[in-house]
Structure 1
Amino acid sequence: MKEPTTPPKQQQHTPTSATSKAPTLIPSPLLRPVPPLADLATSLPPPPPFVEPVAPRAPSATESVATPSPKPPTQQPTAEPLSPASVPEPVAVPQSSPVSPPAVPPAVNEEALRKKITDELYKDLAQKRIKTEQDMQAWYDAEKARASAQAQADVQSKVQEEISRILSVERALTQDSLQQAIIRERISNEDEKLRAQLLEFEQKAKQLEAKEADLKKQDAFYREQVARLEERSEQFYKVTKENYNKAVDQVNAKFKRYEVHPVCGDLQGQILSCYKDNTGKTLNCSNIAALYLQCVNNAKQNKLRTGG
């Protein structure tokens, strides 16, 4: 559905030297807004038989519709073009010309428009109905195929159950003989396994006895070796001890021990204690230091006199 187009604006005859604004158009009262399609669909009567829609007749040029008279155009003053000062030109006087009224839009046939909308709605509903029927048919076919497949599966499961029941009955009849044969086979297998285990244990016992005898021989051999090593180590220890004692005696005989006694030990202790008590005041200990030096000099002279 096409909306009514706005009428083309008529060209106004204005002089070449002046410009004018286009007249403002007031919408016609006949151009009312079309209601939504949902409201039309709910308020319409049952659909009539489908009729090919007929386009509404366009109004002729002689038909006239009452429209409000447009406002007269306002003339804007034109600025004179600047001309050279040497050649003055006459000013052109604008001449007013009659303004023709704007073209009237064609009248809208509301009945035809409503009928056209209704037909389009019915067409849409028919298409939706056809699509719904097609969907329903497809769903029906799918359900039918599913039901047939389910029925076939049920029949097949029942056949399988019957076959399994018959097989279970036949198995139950032969179960006793099979169980007896299985028991005899198991007993014979167990006997063979026990015999094989006994033989293996006997072989292992013989191997262990041989290993034990070998270990006993090795133990005796190693004990003998240890005894010999102990005897040799004792002899070596005795010889080493004797050599050490001889060397000590030789060193003591060769080198004499000298006894050393400190000279002026009392004064030395007094000087050390005085320096500790009078840190930074060494003059306080000058008397003791002089006595210590005199004592050391006397001891040196005595040693020189005695020659010792």
Structure 2
Amino acid sequence: MGNAESSEGRRVSFGMDEERVRVLQGIRLSEDVVNRMKDSSQPLKAQQPAPPSSACGSQKESRPPRSEDSSGQEPLSQEDLLRRYEQEQAIIRDNLFQREREAAIKHLKVSLQKEESVTDQEKQKSTQLTAEMYKLSLQQFHEAASKMESTLQPRRVEPVCTGLQAQILRCYRENLQEVLLCSDLVKAYQRCVSAAREG
């Protein structure tokens, strides 16, 4: 798209029509360029032969007369100029599309990097918050456990009905073959235990 790139290898031709420069294919020329083109074409206008007219009177497209430039090469026709213009436009469109595509890819990469950075920061914050919550929960648990331990007093367990228990054991030892003889003592022991639970 630079000047050096677009001007190399191109020839610009123009036609003169009653002292006015005809602009081809929508190319806008500055006044300075138009004046230079007029000045350079004045000697050529006098040398140009009149275009041949058709004898049958058919109306064909009039083409601007071809004139040789300073290098001796014949300038391009309007069809060639149009074809070359369309090719150059296609190349320019391809270049623009490629640049837009590269810019979009670059923008996507930058956006992805920003998203990854934000995601990493969020993960770090989440991990830190989780660790802090765990520490706080553990501390609160230990404080609650300590309070409960201080409010609870350990129970002192004292045996109940110890006299009956000793009598039952003695009865079983003495009557190994006839343990049913100790059943009255066992019933008395059960009543004593039930009374101790209720009281």
Q: Same fold (TM over 0.5)?
A: no
Higher relative contact order (CA 8 A, sep 6+): 1
Rg larger in 1 or in 2? 1
Shorter-chain TM band: 0.3 to 0.5
TM-score by length of 1: 0.24
